[in-house]
Amino acid sequence: MKNVKQNSNSTAQQVSRRTIVGASAVGGLALGVGAGGLITKALAQKVLADATTAGEVSAWVVIAPDDQVTIRIARSEMGQGTLTGLAQMVAEELECDWTKVKAEYPTPGQNLARNRVWGDMSTGGSRGIRGSQDYVRQGGAAARGMLLQAAATLWGVPVDELKAENSTVTHAKSGKSTTYGKLVGEASKLPVPDLKTVKLKDPSAWKLIGKAGVKRLDTADKLNGKQVYAIDLKLPDMLTATIMDAPVFGNKLKSYDEAKVKAMPGVKGVYKVGDTAVAVVAETFWQAKKGLDALSPVWDETANNKVSTASIAELLKAGLTSNEGIFTGNKAGDADAAIATSAKKISATYDSPYWNHVTMEPMNCTAKWTADKCEVWVATQNGDASLAATAEASGLPPSKCEVYKVHLGGGFGRRGFQDYTTKAVLLAKQLPGIPVKTIWTREEDMRQGRFRPVSQCKLDAGLDAQGNITGFKMRISGPSILTAVAPSRLNKDGSDPAAYQGLNADGPEGQFGYDIADRSIEYAMRNLHIPVGFWRGVNNNQNAVYLECFMDELAKEAGQEPLAFRRKMMAKYPKHLGILNAVAEKIGWETTKPADGVFRGIAQHMGYGSYVAAAAEVSVSDRGKLKVHRLVMGTDCGYAVNPDQIEAQVQGSVAYGLGASLYQKITIKDGRVVEENFDTYESMRLEDFPKIETVLKPSGGFWGGVGEPTICVAAPAVLNAIFAATGKPVRSLPIRDVKLRA
């Protein structure tokens, strides 16, 4: 992966942060998606001409004379395979030779200068494929059309007599044939057609999309140390820094022992970064770290110093029954009345902790600042946001900034937030002309997370004499992510739509899959000083645990087995039911018995446009030791682009989500994070990884996400299997902290 060749002719237009981050309208300049923004058409065309690299057919496709095809990818590859999947989609329509395809990232600066021709660079919400499938396929199809037209003109034949396949254009009537590499010179001079006129293949004609065994484009360099991650970057005269921000988030930095540290070997200086952080810059990382360890920084104290896990739990618990700061999401009928008159009333309270992303590669960013230009090299899930953060921190307009996207050592949502870019630029600005790489220690990475929010949930339901649910209530209490990071995306009433993920009456971001006439899903927003963020699966993680585990509690109270209990409420939700049934069949729910001492659990959910379900087999020893023997994970993601990578994502989602549910919690004491490294914040390792069978059932007709959805069902399936084994519901995470046997 290389960045696209730099366009040295920067434009001078001023573009606000909002324009960069929020732009998404369709523009007609070149091929793809753009926003009008503040760039005039004439200016944009000039920039386009300057930036066009030799062999560019459309913005997405560059072809070399030797038929090597370079496909431009706007989204970030962080392991999820989207780079390969998106390239497959362009190549499918381009009809090129897949063995001669490579991929490259355009830079956010080029995207801005070219009127956002590559569309949204943000890579989150499992949107890599589903959010860009239409225009990347159109980009490939348009380029194929231009190549065909070039051949038609060359041979003086009608374009509809030509066929494009495997990077070759043939004319059957005359027997003429030539390759894309020979046509690219003429094709690239043709106008790019209007996207609306570009016809896409019918899915039945796909050859590369959905094919099994299509290898990733980015594996080879990950096997021999050649892959350059952001933390590996080397630049001439570069210095290395490490940083510490206020452990009690937001508290102001008061003092530090600068004189002592400045005299240490290799140390170039000690710099305040913003109002809250301090960095030591040195020749090497270890010198910088030794300096920071000796710095003794002191921060002021605020009311936040008194916040603890226990005080947070009290606040959230009050939210479960409070009448203040309450929002209502999915509501129909009168749940309270229906429950009040029920034969049986059931209530339960669940909770789940803060989680940190803990990407394998700790946060880091390299920045070089001069009065005319600020350049940043960063592993980012959102190049546009990195550019905006760079502009804001550097004090320079975006046109004088550039961001070079470097390979990510994991993302999981963490690298959508640009706090680490901002700090690196604020530091580099104090050392003009010198590239400074700021590397966070693992400890800093753990303390300065953008945490999956802590929450509690009270569930209430009534059952009639036949064991049917009469009314259902769910009250979630916890911090709001969007209030903290994107207030413009809040609902009009100030509520956070992300709080209801998987519980909505309708929509691709998680439709509640049970037909219950009298229902009410409420949210008590309780915000704290601890920064929250999007963590793979986001609020679906805990929402699915609360809902699906309570369903098993209700099934038991109704005297029914959990699958049948769910099915009778799911007739109106055939896709939810379809994948649940597929998973049940695979594990043998109704056909085989598990081994002695092994118990099964099942769960279903919908999120990120996909329908998912899981079934688990577990045992719990007499001493309460849990073993997960088997997991069947199912997804209906509509269309499956790369089945091998979907399988990898499903397995990965189990390690990430079930691993967190088993072991992880971020504890708050005296206002700060207690855990600092993998010794206290454990990650799932190979020996604990259950055997996973993936059931891929793409039913077609829609595009669902892949990276996140299945994470939501692994934990509830295991928790329900534990409930089946012990008869005692697990209502608190992580599981490690719960005594499974009395």
- Of 333-372, binders to another protein (CB under 8 A) are 358-362
Does 410 sit near another protein (CB under 8 A)? yes
Find all residues with CB under 8 Å of 29, minimum gap 6, and list them.
Answer: 41, 44, 45, 48, 114, 115, 117
d(CA 418, CA 390): 9
- Which of 299, 412, 512, 611 binds another protein (CB under 8 A)? It is 412
* Smallest separation, CB 223 to another protein (Å): 5
Does 677 sit near another protein (CB under 8 A)? yes
d(CA 69, CA 609): 31
Q: For residues 229 and 702, which CB has a smaller minimum distance to another protein in the complex? A: 229
Query: Residue 375's CB: how many other CB atoms inside 10 A?
Result: 22
* Smallest separation, CB 415 to another protein (Å): 11
Q: For residues 223 and 571, which CB has a smaller minimum distance to another protein in the complex? A: 223
129 within 8 A of 641, measured Cβ to Cβ: yes
User: What length does the chain have?
Assistant: 742
User: CA-CA-CA-CA torsion for 124, 130, 134, 136, nearest 10 degrees?
Assistant: 50
Closest CA relative to residue 523, chosen from 542, 496, 502, 488 = 496
Q: For residues 531 and 652, which CB has a smaller minimum distance to another protein in the complex? A: 652
* Smallest separation, CB 220 to another protein (Å): 7
Q: For residues 54 and 220, which CB has a smaller minimum distance to another protein in the complex? A: 220
Distance set, CA 592 to CA 560, 587, 588, 695 (Å): 18, 8, 5, 18
Segment interacting with another protein, rule: CB under 8 A, options 40-48, 391-399, 527-535, 678-686: 678-686
* Smallest separation, CB 717 to another protein (Å): 16
SS (H, E, C) 71-103: EECCCCCCCCCHHHHHHHHHHHHHCCCHHHEEE
> Residue 410: which region, alpha, beta or left (left: phi > 0; alpha: psi -120 to 50)?
left
- With tokens 């956070």, the residue in question is 496
* Smallest separation, CB 644 to another protein (Å): 6
- Of 626-645, binders to another protein (CB under 8 A) are 644-645
- Which of 174, 284, 328, 491 binds another protein (CB under 8 A)? It is 284
Does 537 sit near another protein (CB under 8 A)? no
- With tokens 């009778």, the residue in question is 568
Segment interacting with another protein, rule: CB under 8 A, options 12-20, 28-36, 192-200, 649-657: 649-657
First to last CA, the chain: 55
Does 378 sit near another protein (CB under 8 A)? no
Burial degree of 164 (CB within 10 A; 0-12, 13-18, 19+) = buried
Q: For residues 282 and 469, which CB has a smaller minimum distance to another protein in the complex? A: 282
- Which of 86, 96, 439, 695 binds another protein (CB under 8 A)? It is 439
398 within 8 A of 20, measured Cβ to Cβ: yes
What tokens were used for 510?
Answer: 């998680």
Q: For residues 129 and 147, which CB has a smaller minimum distance to another protein in the complex? A: 129
- Which of 57, 192, 408, 713 binds another protein (CB under 8 A)? It is 408
- Of 248-267, binders to another protein (CB under 8 A) are 265-266
- Which of 241, 692, 706, 725 binds another protein (CB under 8 A)? It is 692
* Smallest separation, CB 376 to another protein (Å): 19
Q: For residues 135 and 535, which CB has a smaller minimum distance to another protein in the complex? A: 535
682: DSSP letter:
-
Name residue 260's amino acid: K
Please count the residues of this chain forming the interface with another protein, following the rule CB under 8 A: 64
* Smallest separation, CB 681 to another protein (Å): 10
Q: For residues 648 and 735, which CB has a smaller minimum distance to another protein in the complex? A: 648
Does 411 sit near another protein (CB under 8 A)? yes
Segment interacting with another protein, rule: CB under 8 A, options 147-155, 210-218, 250-258, 604-612: 210-218
Segment interacting with another protein, rule: CB under 8 A, options 31-39, 231-239, 324-332, 567-575: 231-239
Find all residues with CB under 8 Å of 173, minimum gap 6, and list them.
Answer: 157, 161
Tell how far CA 341 is from the center of its chain.
43
363 within 8 A of 440, measured Cβ to Cβ: yes
Does 709 sit near another protein (CB under 8 A)? no
* Smallest separation, CB 123 to another protein (Å): 13
Segment interacting with another protein, rule: CB under 8 A, options 285-293, 328-336, 365-373, 597-605: 285-293
SS (H, E, C) 550-618: HHHHHHHHHCCCHHHHHHCCCCCCHHHHHHHHHHHHHHCCCCCCCCCCCEEEEEEEEECCEEEEEEEEE
- Of 67-126, binders to another protein (CB under 8 A) are 78-81
Does 687 sit near another protein (CB under 8 A)? yes
Distance set, CA 497 to CA 299, 372, 504, 609 (Å): 35, 41, 9, 15
- Which of 409, 537, 671, 716 binds another protein (CB under 8 A)? It is 409
d(CA 721, CA 730): 10
Q: For residues 35 and 288, which CB has a smaller minimum distance to another protein in the complex? A: 288
Closest CA relative to residue 476, chosen from 548, 526, 510 = 526
- Which of 442, 556, 568, 728 binds another protein (CB under 8 A)? It is 442
Does 684 sit near another protein (CB under 8 A)? yes
Strand bridging mode 691-696 / 455-463: unpaired
Does 655 sit near another protein (CB under 8 A)? yes
Q: For residues 290 and 575, which CB has a smaller minimum distance to another protein in the complex? A: 290
* Smallest separation, CB 363 to another protein (Å): 12
Does 216 sit near another protein (CB under 8 A)? yes
Burial degree of 26 (CB within 10 A; 0-12, 13-18, 19+) = middle
> Residue 731: which region, alpha, beta or left (left: phi > 0; alpha: psi -120 to 50)?
alpha
Does 240 sit near another protein (CB under 8 A)? yes
Name residue 148's amino acid: L
Does 236 sit near another protein (CB under 8 A)? no
Closest CA relative to residue 153, chosen from 178, 117, 119 = 178
Segment interacting with another protein, rule: CB under 8 A, options 60-68, 438-446, 524-532, 607-615: 438-446
Does 522 sit near another protein (CB under 8 A)? no
* Smallest separation, CB 634 to another protein (Å): 16
- Which of 110, 276, 330, 441 binds another protein (CB under 8 A)? It is 441
Q: For residues 324 and 687, which CB has a smaller minimum distance to another protein in the complex? A: 687
- Which of 135, 180, 535, 656 binds another protein (CB under 8 A)? It is 656
Q: What is the largest CA-CA distance in the chain?
A: 84
- Which of 24, 53, 174, 219 binds another protein (CB under 8 A)? It is 219
Segment interacting with another protein, rule: CB under 8 A, options 11-19, 41-49, 211-219, 501-509: 211-219
CA angle 652, 655, 659 (to 5 degrees): 155
Find all residues with CB under 8 Å of 496, minimum gap 6, and list them.
Answer: 327, 480, 481, 482, 483, 490, 523, 525
What tokens were used for 199?
Answer: 């016809």
Does 293 sit near another protein (CB under 8 A)? no
Does 2 sit near another protein (CB under 8 A)? no
- Which of 92, 93, 218, 351 binds another protein (CB under 8 A)? It is 218
* Smallest separation, CB 492 to another protein (Å): 38
Give contact residues for another protein (rule: CB under 8 A): 78-81, 215-216, 218-229, 231-232, 234, 240, 265-266, 284-287, 290, 358-362, 407-412, 439, 441-442, 644-645, 648, 651-656, 659, 677-679, 683-687, 689, 691-692
